[in-house]
Amino acid sequence: MRNIKLTIEYEGKDYNGWQKQPNHLNIQGEIERAIESVTREEVELIGSGRTDAGVHAFGQVANFKIESDFPIEKMATAINSQLKKSIRILKAEEVPIEFHSRYHCHQKTYAYIIDNSEQGTAIYRNTTYHVSQPLNVEKMQEAAKYLVGEHDFSSFKSSGTSSKSSVRTIYQAQVLKEQARVIIMLTGNGFLYNMVRIIAGTLVEIGLGNREPKEMKEILEAKDRQKAGKTLAAQGLFLMNVNYEEKKV
């Protein structure tokens, strides 16, 4: 038995999210089907976690087990030949049999990309969220600092989540400006349901001057979803990478 780890890029627009489900186009199901047509074996693809409908990934990670001796160096190209171009396997590697892409994940990095041009971008309209009023990036960066560390993120969690604890650790929280784009980058040991999109919504309110940066601390402490900003659209959210190294402290 071999264990194969995949690194995957996808544009989420046309999919109903990562998770396999009947009668809805989903990324996990599409990749399983492509692997099965290459290896002629039934496989179960385990993702590092779900991404919601419309969310993109530059570096999702998943693994699956096979008996097939299909050469590893040809596997990414072979699976890609069976996939739509909105999903690309960037890398396929053989890993120890005990590797589990969800259980062994130490860190994830998400980016939320805001197009802050006045009239919006035509070319990147499906992969950015448009805010036409100018954002104060320094204030957003100041507010983002309060997120770093171990906190109960209940204020930044949509209802309907199944996680027992709302405590997560954020290692890095940055707000960057690149031409007309404002990019929110968060690295943590895990993220609650809609957590990045609610944090982004709160940071945008701060960037617009509707709230002060220090309110981020108060919102965290309130542990109340009603105190935070709105959940921004899925199209701005990217799973950037999943890290299996020891935790960075």
Q: Which residues are catalytic?
A: 52
d(Cα 95, Cα 219) in Å, to the nearest integer? 42
Chain positions 6 to 35 lying near a copy of itself, rule: CB under 8 A, are 9-11
Strands (E), 67-203: 87-95, 107-115, 129-130, 149-152, 167-178, 181-188
If the CB atoms of residues 86 and 189 are measured against a copy of itself, the closer one turns out to be 86
225 is a contact residue toward a copy of itself (CB under 8 A): no
Q: Which of residues 115 and 215 has its CB atom nearest to a copy of itself in the complex?
A: 115
- Indicate the SS3 state at residue 238: strand
The residue behind tokens 């419309």 is 54
Nearer residue to a copy of itself within complex by CB, 10 or 18: 10
Window 40-59: residues binding a copy of itself (CB under 8 A): 56, 58
What single DSSP character describes residue 12?
G
Q: Smallest gap, in angstroms, from Cβ of residue 121 to a copy of itself?
A: 6
How many chain residues are in contact with a copy of itself, going by CB under 8 A?
24
- H/E stretch holding 58: strand 56-66
Indicate the residue among 57 and 147 with the shorter CB distance to a copy of itself: 57
Q: Would you give the DSSP letter of residue 19?
A: S
Contact call for residue 119 and a copy of itself (CB under 8 A): yes
Which 178-197 residues touch a copy of itself, going by CB under 8 A? none
Q: Is 172 in the site for a copy of itself (CB under 8 A)?
A: no
Among 24, 40, 74, 77, binds a copy of itself (CB under 8 A): 77
- Closest-CA residue to 135 (of 117, 147, 111, 120): 117
CA-to-CA distance for 238 and 200, rounded, in angstroms? 12
Tell me how far apart the alpha carbons of residues 38 and 93 are, in angstroms, rounded to a whole number: 16
Q: Which residues bind a copy of itself (CB under 8 A)?
A: 9-11, 56, 58, 76-77, 80, 85-91, 117-123, 125, 127
